[in-house]
Amino acid sequence: MEHLAYDIQSGDFGGAGAASRDLKQHLKRIGAESGAVRRAMIAAYEAEMNVVIHTEGGRLEATVSDGQLDVDVVDRGPGIPDVPQAMREGFSTASSEARALGFGAGMGLPNIERNSDRLRVTSAVGDGTRVSFSIGLRPEAADQGARPSSLGIAAELCRDCRHCLAACPTAAVRVREAQPSVLHHLCVDCTCCIAACDPGALTLLDAPDGLAPGADGVLAVPPALLAGFGDHAVDTVLEELRGLGFAEVVSVHPYEDQLRRSVLDLAAAAALPTPIISPVCPAVVSLIELKFPSLVPHLAPLASPWEALQRDFGERDVTYVVSCPSQRTALLAQQPTAQRRTVTPRLVRAAVLPRLAARRRVAQGTPAPQPQAAGADDLLVVTGVSHVLAVLEQIEDGRLTGVASVEPFICDGGCFGSPLLGEDAYVAAWRWAAAAGAAPGEARSYERARPYRPRPGIRLDPDMAVAIRKLAELDAETKALPGKDCGVCGAPTCAALAEDIVMGRAVRALCPYITPQEGSAS
């Protein structure tokens, strides 16, 4: 249970709204349903205005308990002589000042009644009025399931530089005693911490047996790998990859192209809320499930390119050269045994580079770069985590209009920009575009095997009542910390440390700005 209280001054038209605004932030943090939040705001604001307009001042107290908001607004008079009359729309006793500002039209109490599930008004003339209302908060249902992770940690390589802390878009990384760790319930399997980690302490998990081609083996690769060996032509790279002992080498790019066409078809059919979001990048899908659950209906219900490729080839002995943790996690979710068969681009590059080096260079003319394969006017391609976050926020706020579909990639420059590949995103993309057609392929798109599900990672507890208690503790802890976000404690921000303390993952003494006495005081 959480208790909030705000004083409201008589006649303070400018300050009115502060209590309801603060209440809104609390309701969002405990996972209250968004329609319920809007109703609660309108009711609380009207109650606040009533105190400002009609009374000598008062107090708004809110109690958030299991699935319900109870608000109690008590003022210091003058009281309402006839409550049923005051409840009638249009009846008002407001001052001309209040009326001039557009209040006092006799709509306040009726508005509260319309937006709450229960309203009770009691009043004594000369004494004051109590307005009590309640609103159900219906938490959005979600499970608290554990998920596989594909992020590898080599703690011995950590130099304790903590660049990873600030890089993570979901504040999932901690570094304590030069040991990086990841809070898996917050991790979206992107590449941000990997890109920030120079010594390679954070990386992508490799197959335990390395590259082990079978007799009928298929090697599935991203186009960025094919175009990532300087001026070695794509067909040369394909030939040398087969030379490693694979019967067939397939690229995932036809599946990317096919997915894009299917998303544009869905957009043309207006089958989903606009803009439709392509599931091309599993890390963005995960980010949406974690931080933007209201956008889940925008996601096209299609398999990602790697998942689609796996449906076509999964019966055979496939080795997947994935370019990021999220692709590996998606493959494992569909087929757990793929764990033995996903390898890093680094492993494949190390194997194929000597073979390429041994070839006699054949001089080639520089092919003209071609425009990106399937770009379209009604498709917005967004790459890089900060841009993706900005665009998702715009969609969530309803501000991104006139866009039919969005193709978001966490990595800067799309999959070509994964830090796990050996070539710069722009160079690799240019080489790939120049060689378009050198690696033809057929593909189809598939419906998703597993439905999208909001992830409850940012909720403090699956039990709303416990979450509310923890939220109150979180507020107290956050206030006790200096707000410098220095990272010395090993958490990216003071708010993240406060959450670690509340969740029992850390102690307050980790903060260098808090003296031991203060730390043990409460």
Partner 1 sequence: MKLEDIARELGLTELTPEVTGNRQAEIERGYASDLLSDVLAHAPEGSVLVTLQVHLNVIAVASHAELAAVIFAGDRRPDDDMRAKAIAEGISLLVSPADTFDIVGRLYAMGVKGNHA
Catalog residues that contact partner 1 under the rule CB under 8 A: 13-14, 16-17, 20-21, 38, 41-42, 45-46, 49, 101-103, 105, 107-108, 110-111, 114, 394, 397-402
Tell me if 347 sits within 8 A of 206, measured CB to CB: yes
Task: Considering only CA atoms, give the Rg of the chain.
Answer: 29
Residue 105 or 124: which CB sits closer to partner 1?
A: 105
CB of 137 to partner 1, least distance (A): 17
β-bridge mates for residue 119, sequence order: 133
CA 256 from centroid of its chain's CA atoms: 22
CB of 393 to partner 1, least distance (A): 9
Residue 107 or 514: which CB sits closer to partner 1?
A: 107
- Count CA atoms within 13 Å of residue 251 on its CB side: 26
CB of 92 to partner 1, least distance (A): 10
- Whose tokens are 């109870």? That residue is 70
CB of 111 to partner 1, least distance (A): 5
CB of 6 to partner 1, least distance (A): 14
117 Cβ contact list (under 8 Å, min separation 6): 133, 134, 135, 136
Tokens of 485: 């976000």
- End-to-end Cα separation, the chain, in angstroms: 20
Residue 107 or 157: which CB sits closer to partner 1?
A: 107
Rounded CA-CA distance 285/291 in Å is 10
Residue 224 or 389: which CB sits closer to partner 1?
A: 389
Q: Which of 397, 405, 446, 392 is nearest to 269 (CA)?
A: 405
CB of 33 to partner 1, least distance (A): 15
Residue 37 or 497: which CB sits closer to partner 1?
A: 37
Rounded CA-CA distance 13/99 in Å is 12
Tell me if 194 sits within 8 A of 410, measured CB to CB: no
CB of 285 to partner 1, least distance (A): 24
Element holding 134 (H helix, E strand): strand 128-136
DSSP label at 299? B
Residue 46 or 461: which CB sits closer to partner 1?
A: 46
The one-letter amino acid at 286: S
Is 354 exposed, middle or buried, given 0-12, 13-18 or 19+ CB atoms closer than 10 A? Answer: exposed
Residue 398 or 516: which CB sits closer to partner 1?
A: 398
Residue 49 or 131: which CB sits closer to partner 1?
A: 49
Tell me if 302 sits within 8 A of 448, measured CB to CB: yes
CB of 80 to partner 1, least distance (A): 17
CB of 84 to partner 1, least distance (A): 19
Three-state DSSP class for 272?
coil
Rounded CA-CA distance 140/8 in Å is 32
Residue 277 or 322: which CB sits closer to partner 1?
A: 277
CB of 39 to partner 1, least distance (A): 10
CB of 55 to partner 1, least distance (A): 17
List the strands of the sheet with 276-277, edge to edge: 276-277, 405-409, 379-383
Residue 197 or 391: which CB sits closer to partner 1?
A: 391
Rounded CA-CA distance 195/226 in Å is 21
Tell me if 189 sits within 8 A of 151, measured CB to CB: yes
Residue 50 or 329: which CB sits closer to partner 1?
A: 50
Residue 107 or 353: which CB sits closer to partner 1?
A: 107
Tell me if 156 sits within 8 A of 167, measured CB to CB: no
Strand bridging mode 128-136 / 151-153: unpaired
Rounded CA-CA distance 206/343 in Å is 5
Rounded CA-CA distance 272/250 in Å is 32
Rounded CA-CA distance 8/74 in Å is 10
CB of 452 to partner 1, least distance (A): 24
Rounded CA-CA distance 180/156 in Å is 10
Residue 312 or 378: which CB sits closer to partner 1?
A: 378
Q: Which of 392, 422, 79 is nearest to 230 (CA)?
A: 422
CB of 41 to partner 1, least distance (A): 5
Rounded CA-CA distance 405/269 in Å is 12
